[in-house]
Amino acid sequence: MTNPNWKKSLRKTPDPIRQKVSKFAGDKVMAACVKRVPASALGSGTYGHFGMSIKGNVPAFPNRIMPQPGLGPSSLRNAQGEEIVRKDLPMVTKTYSVDAPNWGDWSSGSHEVSWSRDVYQHEFVAPKELEVSIELLATEPAEDPVFVFRFRVEEILDRRAADFGNALLSNLNLLQENTGAADVFAADADPTEYLKTISVYWEILPPGERSEMLAHILRKFREPSNELKAKLLDRYSFLEKLKPVAYISGTSGFQRYFGAKFADNLVVFENLEYGNAIYVMFDEWEELSKLSRLELLKDRGKAGFERIVHREGWKETLKTVIEARMVPA
């Protein structure tokens, strides 16, 4: 099992999540998230703490699991409870006693020594022992297959409750520690609503200074690794030579995409974190980009896009496709 390299906690409930809660029709909500997990991540043990692995090309995982206490403070509180020092309450006098030897010699007997001091009162909060359910929503075939999982904390929260804010943040952090992502859904949300969260939302960035552009794109990644930075620089430098009219920074749930726009009907994009292919989209790219990769692959026979796998020669293939599309009809 490897130590997951993702952000472990949230100091407060993110504004997008609070806004999402405010728009729900009902009051019952659950902390849950959707993640694309590549087979290689399951094989490397990234999700081993959740009992998840890969057998052949088939993911193996429990239906429900209680997070291990060693994963972080939220998991520890969930499993073992928490003792809170109540500094808001009056201090109380506590007496301590120990046995001491008479004249410093235990053979001469002993006597009790007592002393008192004022201490803060303590309150023990019992553990909730919440479980996280795991459901496979979809599979995206590829050289490194990607599995779309839903992770959900099995506690229904009522947004009218006085402690809703604290309870929601606690459950979001339980997810964040264990999956690297956190979100909220209506308690009765069906799989379709979860899958919608992995559609892509784009930000179009006009060409600018390379350092500024790279910094802007990297800000959307949580603790980007040196490998990811190097990959971004390589892809950016290559696309820069093809002279795009704009760059594209995209967000799909908790995943981050990067690409370039060459014309109103010609864009390219890819997921730098998990993608093993770059997508070239044509006339209806804004609609196509809202689809999940699973939905795209189902329609790959259509002429709306081309998928170029990152294998030897992919740059030349991409250059050829773009140049062909840029030739006036």
Both tokens assigned to 209? 């200074």
Strand bridging mode 132-140 / 184-186: unpaired
Please check whether residue 285 is in contact with residue 263, taking contact to mean a CB–CB distance below 8 angstroms.
Answer: no
Whole-number pLDDT of residue 254: 40
Three-state SS at 280: strand
d(CA 94, CA 110): 23
Distance CA 168, CA 213 (A): 35
Confidence at residue 3, expressed as pLDDT on a 0 to 100 scale: 60
In this prediction, residue 171 carries a pLDDT of: 95
Mean pLDDT by 10 residues, the chain (329 residues): 70 88 93 90 92 92 93 90 81 87 87 87 82 91 83 95 94 93 92 75 69 75 76 86 83 63 86 72 73 62 76 91 77
At 5 the pLDDT is: 66
